[in-house]
Amino acid sequence: MSSGFHIVVCGSLVPDPLQTLEPIAGPAGPALKNEMMLPSVLDPWAAHALYEAAHLAKTAAGSKVWLVSLGPKAKLQQLMMTIAQKAPFELVVVDGSASGFTDPFEAAAALASAIEKIPGLDRSRLLVFGGCASASRDASVTMQMIGEQLGIADQFLGVDELTVQPSGAFKVLERIEGGQYQASECAGAPAVLAWATGNLPEPPNNPQVGMANMRGIMPALQKAQPAKVGAEGVTFAKVELPQQKRETRIVKDVPVEEIAKEIITWIKG
């Protein structure tokens, strides 16, 4: 493979998953309370895809990485400060909600449309990367639908390893049930790879990478097109996140068995 891959990573922000999130009924459908104030991170699944993409681009000469992000552009701007130091990429922004209440089909349509419009993208060398799910919605179908809309038939889900042959063909390890891997061989691009965790650690922050990325980030944010990815026409009968139960208390002079029993009763509710 002499000319390398054109790798498009679909990835956006999610509210930092360790927060206590509160769903509310917003003016445009379900939303998260204080959504624009919540600290956000790059979706951990998509982050793995981005790191794998950067690694592949480094090893397959002539490759290039795009990051296509669907999210509120003000929040994406802030997110870029933290991830643009990690890996070289060209940013494409689609301005829309990333709350997790969006419809996966609409999200996929918006992303596929943005990918189609990338100037100079060579479909014969195209690998579409993304997370196998998102930490906000966990629909696990968006990448497949992007592939469908782009007409890419070779799709791999829950990928942990990608090994590229000199010919451009590649082997993929996909997670399947029972803790097993399915090994596949693919003749080459185009393909969709929805990553699980991969094998790579988070790259260190590299100031030079950041400086280089930033030249294209602000123009990309300014060019962002709004996307209609809400939940229009959809009624959520109930929106609820798992309730956090926290009843920490300190007891003394209580036998361990009693404490264990009490905890079990508490867990059972």
Partner 1 sequence: MTDPMKHERQSMDIDIVCVGFGPAVGGFLTTLSRAMVDANGQTLLESKTTPGLPLQVVCYERADDIGFGVSGVVTKGRSLRQTFPDLDLSQIPMAHRVEHEKVVYLMDPIGASRRSWLLRIADGCARLAHKILPFVPFIQEHAVELPYIPPFMSKEEGMVLSIGQFNQWVGSQLMGSGTVQIWPGMPVNRALTENGKVVGVRLVDQGTDKSGKPDAGYMPGMDIRAQLTVLGDGPVGPVGRELNDQFGMPDGNHQRDWAVGMKAVVELPEDTPLKPGTVLHTFGYPEPEIFGFLYVYPNRLASLGIFIPTWMDSPVRTSYRYLQYWMMHPYLWRYLKGGTLKSWGAKTLQESGKRGETILAGDGYARIGEGSGSTNVLTGSGVDEAWATGVQLAEGVIELAKAGKPFTKENLDGAYVRRRRASWVEKEGRIAKKSRDGFQTDFLAGLFGMGLTGMTGGLLNFPGTIKRPYERVPSYEQYYRGKISRDELNRIKKEARAANVAVHDALLDASGWPKVPYDGKLLVSHQDALLLGGKVQAAGGYADHVLFLNPRLCEQCETKLCISMCSAQAITHGENDGVPQFDREKCIHCGACFWNCVKPRDGDPEQSNIDFRAGSGGLHSAEN
- For binding to partner 1 (CB under 8 A), which residues are involved? 16, 18-20, 34, 36-39, 74, 77-78, 80-82, 85, 201-202, 204-208, 210-211, 214, 218, 221, 246-250
Nearer CB in complex with partner 1: 74/176? 74
Nearer CB in complex with partner 1: 39/62? 39
Query: In the beta sheet, which residues pair with residue 127?
Result: 7, 191
Q: How far is the CB of 78 from partner 1 (least distance, A)?
A: 6
Residue recorded with tokens 């988070």: 202
The DSSP letter of residue 253 is S
Q: How far is the CB of 3 from partner 1 (least distance, A)?
A: 29
Phi (first) and psi of residue 46, to 5 degrees: -65, -30
Q: How far is the CB of 258 from partner 1 (least distance, A)?
A: 19
CA distance 69 to 160: 22
Nearer CB in complex with partner 1: 75/125? 75
Task: Note the helical H segments in 191-242.
Answer: 207-222
Q: How far is the CB of 10 from partner 1 (least distance, A)?
A: 22
Q: How far is the CB of 246 from partner 1 (least distance, A)?
A: 5
Encoded tokens for 202: 């988070």
Cα-based distances in Å from 197 to 13, 45, 65, 102, 120? 17, 6, 19, 24, 30
Q: How far is the CB of 82 from partner 1 (least distance, A)?
A: 5
Nearer CB in complex with partner 1: 9/79? 79
DSSP string, 63-74: -EEEEEEEE-HH
Nearer CB in complex with partner 1: 1/220? 220
CA distance 203 to 10: 18
Q: How far is the CB of 245 from partner 1 (least distance, A)?
A: 9
Burial (CB < 10 A; 0-12, 13-18, 19+), residue 60, is buried
Nearer CB in complex with partner 1: 185/202? 202
The dihedral formed by the CA atoms of 260, 261, 262 and 268, expressed in degrees to the nearest 10? 110
Nearer CB in complex with partner 1: 36/234? 36
> Which residue, 82, 115, 98, 113, is CA-closest to 214?
82
